[in-house]
Amino acid sequence: MVQTSFQQESLPPALESGDRLNRYEFERRYHAMPSLQKAELIEGVVYLPAALRFRSHGQPHANLIIWLGNYQVATPGIELGIEPTVRLDLDNEPQPDAVLLIDENAGGQAKLSEDDYIEGAPELVAEIAASSVAIDLYDKKRAYRRNGVQEYIVWQVCERRLDWFYLQQGEYVSLPVDEGNVIRSRVFPGLWLAAGDLLAGNMARVLSVLQEGLASEEHSRLVEQLAEQEGH
């Protein structure tokens, strides 16, 4: 009688906060944990988020998406994503709270992989920072800067502060606030933000200012440029 042996394939180790992995091993372990909703690899270190509170994360996140979503609807050729996996490099695979990117067919710098993940740097990344301020303003900021994310928004909810950085000559600098307390994107013309009103939850004012940006000549030119790019 010929005996055969059978060895069941073992599952990879579970992801744990603080694990030091490369992107491939991170994804292998992540895919083996289908119940895990979010995990990030930042500068080679695994981070598993804590449970999210309503006032300090859920509600601000929703308001951020309302603002960005209205811009995306009015700007064909622009894509908006909520917590997508972004393959930045071998040591960084974050899931930002929001990304705004130009479609690759319209000249965007990121692309979608065959398995439907973002590869490369979205033009804009936004993070809601409550307990993760240190990560968002240091390790993540460094990774986003190095990989060419053009604009980076960090909303520090507990501190009631919003920083909007723009990549200039390889470094992040803060976008200026005009006399009306409005910040204007340099990458996405017409994306205007009444930051103080966003922090206060005054979404009517936030959307009113955004509509002013969408009615500007610079936004009209962007829409025309994106249409021309997609038509080539």
- Residue 152 is predicted with a pLDDT of 98
The full set of domain ranges for the chain reads 10-49, 52-231
Q: Give CB contacts under 8 A, 24+ apart, made by 24-31.
A: 24/90, 26/93, 27/93
In this predicted structure, what is the pLDDT of residue 7? Answer: 46
pLDDT along the chain (232 residues), means of 10: 51 91 94 92 91 89 98 97 96 97 94 95 94 79 96 94 96 94 97 97 98 98 92 66
* Residue 77: strand, helix, or coil: coil
Residue 26 DSSP SS3: helix
Predicted local distance difference test score (pLDDT) of residue 8: 46
DSSP element (H, E) containing 70: helix 59-73
Residue 229: the pLDDT is 85
18: left (phi over 0), alpha (psi -120 to 50) or beta: left
CATH 3.90.1570.10 fits 52-231, yes or no: yes
In this prediction the pTM is 0.91
Contact predicate 103/77, CB 8 Å: yes
Q: What is the CA radius of gyration of the chain?
A: 20
CA angle, 128 as apex, 122 and 133 as ends, to 5°? 105
